[in-house]
Amino acid sequence: MAREIKVLGSGCRNCQNTAALIEEVAAEQGVAIDLQKVEETAEIMRYGVMSTPGVVVDGEVVHAGGVPDRKSVAQWLEAAQ
């Protein structure tokens, strides 16, 4: 089943970079993901995140405040399999 991943962010460049990075790593690892961008401030805040971009994997906030590094992304996707 595809893993549900959400990128929280107001559409800033770092948020787009984060989404692109996750897609890239998922493709490399052959992991099926369902990637959504959450851009509504109210929605972002509901996750308890104030510093964007943030990343939510299967409902759990795994990252906030900057573009994550490649290795962390790989770990999240691995753990999600």
Partner 1 sequence: MFATLGDRIAYTLLGLSPDGSLGPAVQFFVMDTAKIFAMLVAVIYVMGLLRAMISPERVREYVRGKPKGLARSLAVGLGAVTPFCSCSSVPLFIGFVEAGIPLGVTFSFLIASPMINEVAVVLLVGILGWKLTALYVASGLAVAYVGGIAMERLRPERWVAGYVWQIQMGETAHPKLDNSLAGRHRYAVGEVREIVGRIWKWVLLGIGVGALFHGYVPQAWVSEYLAGGEWWSVPAAVLIGVPLYANATGVIPVAEAMLAKEVAIGTVLALMMAIAALSLPEMLILRKVLHWRALAYYAAILAGAFVLVGWGFNLLA
Least CB distance to partner 1 at residue 59 (A): 11
End-to-end CA distance of the chain: 9
Q: Which of 24, 46, 58, 79 binds partner 1 (CB under 8 A)?
A: 46
DSSP 27: H
68 belongs to the binding site for partner 1 (CB under 8 A): yes
Tell me whether residue 27 or residue 50 sits nearer to partner 1 (CB atom). 50
- b (16+ CB within 10 A) / e for 15-28: bebbbebbeebbee
The residue ranges that bind partner 1 (CB under 8 A) are: 10, 12, 14, 41-42, 44-52, 54, 61-69, 71-72
